[in-house]
Amino acid sequence: MNITITPGRKIIGRLAKGEDLLVALENCAREHRITLGEVQAIGAVSQARVGYYNQPEHKYYYLDLARPLEILCLIGNISLKDGKPMVHAHIALSDHDGRAFGGHLAEGTLAFACEFAIQEYQSATPLM
Ligand code: ZN
């Protein structure tokens, strides 16, 4: 399935130290009433919580990384869930030895410093 979209607004910003990435990005999307879009970010976190989807069990398992990490890449999309903008993002993080960790971004990932960009899209057809 695919649809044609046209770019809308672009919103860039920084998160304050201690802000929860998922909550703050979702609040930003809601504040700007973005119903379809993409999100990306880089920076660093003081701790992270990422999910891994166990496919046979249809269930997320969460990994808590209670240490400072670099955000190598955060990428995700914004769509409507139950009428409200929802962010679905994945994040890649690295430690002081350059080892990488990552997964489905969950609440509990706290910004040390984070710069983000949200690209809004408009679509004649709603995304399923
Ligand atoms: Zn995911």
Give the pLDDT of residue 126: 65
Q: Is 125 a residue whose pLDDT tops 90?
A: no
Kindly report, residue by residue over 19-69, the tens digit of the pLDDT: 999 999 999 999 999 999 999 999 999 999 999 999 999 999 999 999 999
User: Are the CB atoms for 73 and 116 separated by under 8 Å?
Assistant: no
- Report the separation in Å between the CA atom of 105 and the middle of ligand 1, taken as the mean of its atom positions: 7
What pTM value is reported for the model? 0.93
Helix (H) or strand (E) holding 105: strand 100-105
- Report the separation in Å between the CA atom of 101 and the middle of ligand 1, taken as the mean of its atom positions: 14
- Report the separation in Å between the CA atom of 60 and the middle of ligand 1, taken as the mean of its atom positions: 9
Tokens standing for residue 37:
């879009």
Kindly report, residue by residue over 86-103, the tens digit of the pLDDT: 999 999 999 999 999 999
**Which conformational region is residue 96 in: left (phi greater than 0), alpha (psi within -120 to 50 degrees), or beta?**
alpha
Residue 125 DSSP symbol: S
- Report the separation in Å between the CA atom of 87 and the middle of ligand 1, taken as the mean of its atom positions: 10
